[in-house]
Amino acid sequence: MVPSAQTPGSLTLEFFKALADESRLRIVAMLAEREHSVQEIARRLNLREPTISHHLAILRELELVAVRAEGTVRWYRLNDGVLRKFKSEVFSPENLARIASTDTADSWEAKVLANFLDGERLIKIPDTRRKRWAVLRWMGAKFQADVSYSEAQVNAIIKRHHEDAAFIRREMIGEKIFARENGIYRLRPQSEWSEAPR
């Protein structure tokens, strides 16, 4: 079965990393034909046996390869069941789309925050709306859901991170992070927050 300790996203990346190596890809192709020993693979690929063993260990970590012992010889084969699992669970169109959007967005936001934060202090409010959006989402995480805040309370929390509370507060309303009614502020569910500007 597909290793359960990893998320489908991390599994997909590990799968691509494993098969990005030409030698490992050729080993998988050989094992798709039939079982092979380390010695046979080494001869066919013109590589040293310890190198083949290293590649097989990586493939075994993903459970793509199974092994059986016959006397002193170990025979390796492709694990068809795991390949089918990868195809259905990891390589579904829905999961690939989620990886493309989530992993890319998360890493991009992390880079933006690294440029504009010094610990918990916002050094500067970004000029571009897209970068400002990432900072405002970070600021939104400083507030609790299902809590009603007065304007003074919102300002006090924002000022722990940046002095221009009024501007940030207004921007958070504009990006649908906050809902304001009769002077009371409530954090909206993240699913309602504005999407990243293009």
Give tens-digit pLDDT for 114-165.
899 988 899 999 999 999 999 999 999 999 988 999 999 999 999 999 999 9
pLDDT surpasses 90 at 52 = yes
> Do residue 111 and residue 188 come from a single domain?
yes
Task: Report how many domains make up the chain.
Answer: 2
Torsional sign, CA 91, 11, 52, 22: positive
**In whole angstroms, what is the distance from residue 149 CA to residue 152 CA?**
8
Written as six digits, the tokens of 24 are 């490992």
Residue 25, in any domain of the structure? yes
**In whole angstroms, what is the distance from residue 97 CA to residue 100 CA?**
5
Residue 65, in any domain of the structure? yes
> Do residue 111 and residue 39 come from a single domain?
no
Residue 134, in any domain of the structure? yes
> Do residue 150 and residue 83 come from a single domain?
no
> Do residue 56 and residue 127 come from a single domain?
no
> Do residue 79 and residue 54 come from a single domain?
yes
> Do residue 22 and residue 85 come from a single domain?
yes
Q: How far from 170 is each of 24, 59, 80, 152, 167, CA to CA, in Å?
A: 54, 52, 56, 13, 5
Residue range 58-76: average pLDDT?
90
Residue 82, in any domain of the structure? yes
Greater confidence (91 vs 198) lies with 198
pLDDT in the model for residue 67: 92
For the chain, give the number of residues: 198
Mean pLDDT estimate for the chain: 85
Greater confidence (52 vs 21) lies with 52
Give the domain-ending residue among 64, 90, 116: 90
pTM, two decimals, is 0.49
Query: Residue 180 belongs to what domain range?
Result: 107-192
Q: What is the CATH number of the domain that holds 172?
A: 1.10.10
pLDDT in the model for residue 97: 60
What confidence tier does 188 reach under pLDDT thresholds 50, 70, 90?
very high
Residue 162, in any domain of the structure? yes
pLDDT surpasses 70 at 95 = no
Tell me the three-class secondary structure of 119-142, residue by residue.
CCEECCCCCCHHHHHHHHHHHHCC
What confidence tier does 5 reach under pLDDT thresholds 50, 70, 90?
very low
